[in-house]
Structure 1
Amino acid sequence: MSEPILLSLSGSLRQNATNRKLLREAARLFAPGTHIEADLNLPLYDGDLEDGEGIPEAVQTLSDQIAQAHAVIISTPEYNKGPSGVLKNALDWVSRTGGRPWADKPVAVMSAAAGRAGGERAQMVLRGYMVPFQPRILQGPEMHLADSSNEFDEHGKLTSDRYESTLRTLMEKLRAEAGF
């Protein structure tokens, strides 16, 4: 069997966002395999744009990456008790592409946020957003990284053994769910 392809989707566009750092740590713990960071810097979903110009190339690329990945990891910040608009917009666009790229796909959801709950509410809402796509979302362990800006060292590595242990277990379960 070939090496697994792991696709990560960050609900934050900032290059050094804690959600990106968390996804990179997850990919490190998932290894070996190929890790691809998806680009969610997409135009806002607009039915007129879709009708006039079709599916944007960046959206089709994302849909194809989801379809080709053996497993997907998603990390979202919590904005006003929900996932980011960036992430919701990406999900809406991908739902308009042909095929069913999410169907039966192993997915691990996580969150990193400034608050003490670590994005727990955003993660719960995100899980609901995923229901129509019918992926195989892992039920745990839940990874809610609280006070996230203080949980990484200067190299982007998690500093807490407790969080790293939780993330390692989640990635081991995702790897097994993907058949590796």
Structure 2
Amino acid sequence: MSDQKTTLKVVSFSGSLRKGSINTAALRALKALAPADLAIDIFDLSEIPLYNDDLRTGPGYPASVQSFREALKAADGVLIATPEYNYSVPGVLKNAIDWASRPPEQPFDGKPIGILGASPGVLGSSRAQYHLRQCFIYLNGQVMNRPEVMIGQANSKFDAEGNLTDQGTADFLKGFLAAFADHIRYHQRARSGS
């Protein structure tokens, strides 16, 4: 099929602003491991202000938010890496989603989405990932159900510079990326009616 040769554009972002974030490191690992037909960009959420609808309805979307919305809209798929804070989604991540999801034309509608997370604990941000999935029910994001990526004990799988060092995790992430590419193409075909 011709769509197998098309490069898919994926925008990714991490729910952590920390310089040494293992979730951002996981996105860098995905970018490095991506097959040739999957181009992954990492969007930095650090410039997005706290959500205030007076800004949107007054002067309009802040430039950082507009740039984020445009990146989401232009992408074939979205990858989100979330830490887990207090059993849930970090405020930084929820804030970005809240900004992006405001009208007009919220960019998550029908968009293929992959969720992952890394944690020093054994659960690999599983509870936060489930809460994040709930957000996309309302937004009609097409979240991939499997494989789930919950990188537990992540401090032992990345080195001090944030490089992935665990071959088993790398192999699993390659499978995740292949499944995500299939997930994107499935939804592209469904939207086009072919």
Asked whether the two chains share a fold, i.e. TM above 0.5, the reply is yes
Q: Which whole-Å deviations, capped at 9, do the CAs of 1:67-107 have from their partners, x for residues lacking one?
A: 11111110000000011100000000011142131122111
The aligned counterpart of 1:7 is 11
Q: Determine which structure has more spread, i.e. the larger CA radius of gyration.
A: 2
The aligned counterpart of 2:40 is 35
Q: Which whole-Å deviations, capped at 9, do the CAs of 1:103-158 have from their partners, x for residues lacking one?
A: 22111100111211111101111111111121221111111111222211356432
The aligned counterpart of 2:53 is 47
The whole-number CA distance in structure 2 between the counterparts of 1:120 and 1:93 is: 24
The whole-number CA distance in structure 2 between the counterparts of 1:154 and 1:47 is: 40
Query: Do the aligned partners of 1:83 and 1:125 also contact (CA within 8 Å) in 2?
Result: yes
Question: Percentage identity across aligned positions?
Answer: 33
Q: Give, as a single letter, the amino acid of the residue that structure 2 aligns with 1:34.
A: A
Counterparts of 1:60-99 in structure 2, within 5 Å, are 60-99=66-105
Which ranges of structure 1 fall in alignment gaps of 5 or more residues? none
Q: Give, as a single letter, the amino acid of the residue that structure 2 aligns with 1:136.
A: Q
Q: Give, as a single letter, the amino acid of the residue that structure 1 aligns with 2:106.
A: R
Of stretches 48-57 and 71-80 in structure 1, the one that deviates more from structure 2 is 48-57
The aligned counterpart of 2:21 is 17
Query: Do the aligned partners of 1:138 and 1:174 also contact (CA within 8 Å) in 2?
Result: yes
> Aligned-pair distance for 1:2?
4.2
* Cα RMSD, aligned residues only: 1.8
The whole-number CA distance in structure 1 between the counterparts of 2:152 and 2:160 is: 18
The aligned counterpart of 2:154 is 148
Which ranges of structure 2 fall in alignment gaps of 5 or more residues? 187-194
The whole-number CA distance in structure 1 between the counterparts of 2:166 and 2:96 is: 31
TM-score (norm 1): 0.91
Aligned length: 180
